[in-house]
A and B are shown apart, each in its own frame.
Chain A
Amino acid sequence: MILRRLRYEIVSRLVAPALLRITKRRRSQGGTGATSPLGPPLESRHKLKELMSAHYLGGRFADGAVPVAYVTSGFPVELLRPFGYHVVYPENHGALCSARRLVPQLSEVAERAGFSRDLCGYARADLGSLLSGSTPTGRLPRPDLLGCCTNICQTVLYWYRVLADRLGVPLVLIDTPFVYGQAPRAHLDYVAAQLYEAYATAARVAKRRADISDLEVPIRLAAEGTQLWGECLGLSSHRPAPWTCFDGFVHMAPIVAMRGTVACNAYYRMLRDELSDRVARGIGGIEHERHRLLWDNLPIWYQIRELATSLAAAGFNFVCATYTDAWAEPGTTFDPHHPLESLAMAYSHVLLNQDLKNRLRVMTELARRFQVDGAVLHSDRSCKPYSVGQIDLKERLQRDLGIKTLILDADHADPRAFAAAQVESRLAAFMESFR
C-alpha cells in the first residue's frame, strides 16, 4: 500500500510533467502556422496539458494507492476531497475520446452489448471503454466508489447503475429535483440530507472518519476556483476578446475535473494573468474580430479546430458560451461556513437543472455582457436536456435582443451524427446573413 502510494505520487508529480516538458520542447521546434486566422496560441496550454496528463497518468497507478471514485460532472466533488480520492470523470474521459474521434469504435462495442445508439455519446463511449478496456489514457483505475448527481440529466442515473452493477462497487446517488425559479426549503433539505449520507459513505469507503469541518477547505478552494474561472471568461468582454470559447472548452478541464484543489486554482490564476496581459496588449483570440457570437450547448469536440478556424477566417469569434459559463455560476453560492447547505444550493441550481426561463435569463445576460451580434445554438443529438427548448430560446433571443441566431444540428461526441457539408453550409449561410 505504501509503495503503491509512493508510485502514484511520483508519477503524478514528477514523471508526467517531465515527459511533457520533453514533448513540448520537441513540438516548439515545429513552430506555429503563420497564416492561421486564429490569434497566437495561449502559453498556458502547456501547463494545462501537464496538469491533465499528470492526472490521467497518475490515474493508471491510483487503484490500491488511494481511494478512487468515478463521478458525474455535476457531482459535489468537494465531498471527496478530504479523503484524498483520485477522481475520474467519465464525461471528461468521454470528451477526450470524442476529440480523438474514438467514440464510433467505443460506441459500437456498447451498441453490440445492447445499448441504444440514441443514448448520450458520453455514456456509450464510457460503457464501450469499460467493456473493451480500450482508452486513450492507457488505463483507467478501478473505482472504489461511484458518485452520481442527477442535476445534469437522467441518463447518468441509468449509466451509473450499469457501472455499479458491472464493477460491483457502491453508488452514491444525489437526486436533485428540477428547479422552477428558486428551489424551496424542502428541496434543499432533501438534497442536503443526501449529501450528508454521501459524505459518510465516502468516508467509510476510504476507511476514514467523516468530519464536516474538513469540508471547509475544499469548498473555499472550489469557490475561489469557480470565481477565477469566471474572471478568465469575463475578460472576453473586451474587444478583441483575448481568447475564443473554443479555447475555453479545452481550458475548462481543471474546473470540471479538479475543482476544489490548490492546483486547479493556481492554474486559473496563471491563465487569468495571461489573458489580462493579452487584453492589455490588444491580442485577440482571432486575428481580426469583426463579429462576436454566443455558443449554446456542448462543443462538437471532434470539430473544435475546424470550426474555430473557419469562423475565425471570416472574422467571427465565439466570445462566450453557456457551457463554459455554467462552471462559473456556482461560485457565488459556495459557503465554507455552511458546507452541506451551500453545496445543496449550488448543485441544485446548475444550468441544466433549471427551467427555460433561467436559460433565457443566462443567455440574455451573456449576450448583453459580451456584446454579441449573434448566437449559435448547437442542437446536440446526444444531450437531450440541453437541446430541448432551443427553438423557443432562439426566437426569444432574436426578438428581444435583435441578434441573429442559428440552430446547428450535430452531436457533441459522435461524428456519425455529424454531416460536414450540411453544417458547413448552414454556418456559411449564417455568416453571409451578417452583411
Chain B
Amino acid sequence: MTAVAAIGVDAGSTAFKLVAIDAAGVILSASIEPAHPKLEAQAERLLALVRARFPEAEAAPLVATGYGRKRIPARAAVTEITCHARGSFFHLKRPHLLIDVGGQDTKAIRVGAEGEVLDFAMNDKCAAGTGRFLEVILARLAVPLAEVALHTAGAEPAVTVSNTCTVFAESEVVSLLAEGAPLEGVLRGLHESLASRVAQLAGRFVDDPRIGLSGGVALNPAMRAALTVAVGRPIEVVPDPQLVGALGAALSALLTKAGNPATR
C-alpha cells in the first residue's frame, strides 16, 4: 500500500478542502466541507482523521492555500493561483488556460510548460461571475445546487437574465418568474449570464490552445455547456475539479520535501 507523502489544505472562502497524496501525487484521502469560521479547529479535526487512517501522515509536510492559508499551521502558505496551476498541470500535463470558478473568486490562469504561472486575471471585488452568484440566486429560488441538473436537462430555451450583478440579477429573476417565465429557462439564462461574465475574464487570454475548468461549478453540466458556448471552445473538466487547489498545495508540499525552494 502506498503511503501518505504530503498533505494539502485549501481553506477557501466557502469550502474547506484537504487532500493527502502519495509520493507520485495520487490522492489517497480527500475531504470537502463547508468552510467553518474556526478554520484552525476544522483543519485539526480533518487532519486527525487522516492520521488515524495513515499514521505516517504525522510526518508528512503540509502546505496550505486559499484565503485562510496563513491561519493553518503549515510548512508554507502558497497562493491559490500557484496551487491551482500546479494541481491542474498535474492532470492535464501541458500548457493550458485554467478557468477556476470559486466561491468568491473566479480566476483565469495561464499555465506554462512546467506547471508554472505565466499570467493570471481575477474578478474584482464584486461577486458577479463567481460561484456565489449562482448560490445566492438558487437559494432564493429554493433550488438545491444538486438538483440544478434535473431542472436544466430539458430543451427549454434560455430566458435572458441581463444582469451580471448578483443583487440585480436576484430581483430580475424573481420578477421574471412572477411574469410566468418557466423555471427551467430562467435557470439556463442564469448560467449563461454567469458564463458570459467568466468568458470576459478568460477572454484576455483567448489565444491559449487548451482550456481546463475547475471549481465546484465544473460538476454542473448546465454550467459546462454555457461556458463552452460563451468561450467558443471545448472545455475540459480537470479531474476532481473541487480539489485542484488542495492537490496543488500537496504537490507544493512534496516539493518542499525534495528541498526545492518553490514555496513561501
A429-B67 contact given A417-B125, A419-B125, A422-B122, CB 8 Å threshold: no
A428-B79 contact given A398-B119, A422-B105, A433-B117, CB 8 Å threshold: yes
Those of A410-432 within 8 Å (CB) of chain B: 417, 419, 421-422, 425-426, 428-429, 431-432
A52 contacts across to B, CB distance below 8 A: none
Q: Taking the complex as formed, is B80 at the interface, i.e. its CB lies under 8 A from any CB of chain A?
A: yes
Nearest to B67 among chain A residues (CB) is: A421
Contact B264 A432 (CB under 8 A): yes
Q: Taking the complex as formed, is A150 at the interface, i.e. its CB lies under 8 A from any CB of chain B?
A: no
Chain B nearest Cβ from A431, distance in angstroms: 8
B80 contacts across to A, CB distance below 8 A: 425, 429
Q: Taking the complex as formed, is A20 at the interface, i.e. its CB lies under 8 A from any CB of chain B?
A: no
Chain A nearest Cβ from B178, distance in angstroms: 30
Those of B115-132 within 8 Å (CB) of chain A: 116-122, 124-125
Tell me if A's interface is mostly helix, strand, loop or mixed. helix
Q: Taking the complex as formed, is A263 at the interface, i.e. its CB lies under 8 A from any CB of chain B?
A: no
Q: Taking the complex as formed, is B140 at the interface, i.e. its CB lies under 8 A from any CB of chain A?
A: no
Nearest to B81 among chain A residues (CB) is: A429
Q: Taking the complex as formed, is B218 at the interface, i.e. its CB lies under 8 A from any CB of chain A?
A: no
Name, among B80, B119, B204, B262, the residue most crowded by chain A CB atoms within 10 Å (CB to CB). B119
Size of A's binding interface in residues, CB under 8 A: 21
Q: Taking the complex as formed, is B164 at the interface, i.e. its CB lies under 8 A from any CB of chain A?
A: no
Chain B nearest Cβ from A229, distance in angstroms: 33
Contact A432 B121 (CB under 8 A): no
Report which of B67, B122, B264 forms a contact with A314, defined as CB distance below 8 A. Answer: B264
Q: Taking the complex as formed, is A65 at the interface, i.e. its CB lies under 8 A from any CB of chain B?
A: no
Nearest to A395 among chain B residues (CB) is: B204
Report which of A407, A425, A433 forms a contact with B121, defined as CB distance below 8 A. Answer: A407
Nearest to A418 among chain B residues (CB) is: B125
Chain A nearest Cβ from B173, distance in angstroms: 25
Q: Taking the complex as formed, is B78 at the interface, i.e. its CB lies under 8 A from any CB of chain A?
A: yes
Q: Taking the complex as formed, is A19 at the interface, i.e. its CB lies under 8 A from any CB of chain B?
A: no
Contact A422 B117 (CB under 8 A): no
Contact B204 A433 (CB under 8 A): no
A398 contacts across to B, CB distance below 8 A: 119
Those of B79-130 within 8 Å (CB) of chain A: 79-82, 105, 116-122, 124-125
1/0 per position for B48-89, CB-CB distance to A under 8 A? Answer: 000000000000000000010000000000111110000000
Pairs A–B under 8 Å by Cβ, sample size 9: A398-B119, A409-B125, A425-B80, A426-B81, A428-B79, A433-B81, A433-B116, A433-B120, A435-B261
Inter-chain pairs besides A398-B119, A429-B80, A432-B81, 14 sampled, C-beta below 8 Å = A419-B125, A421-B67, A422-B125, A425-B67, A425-B79, A428-B264, A429-B120, A431-B264, A432-B79, A433-B81, A433-B82, A433-B116, A433-B117, A433-B120
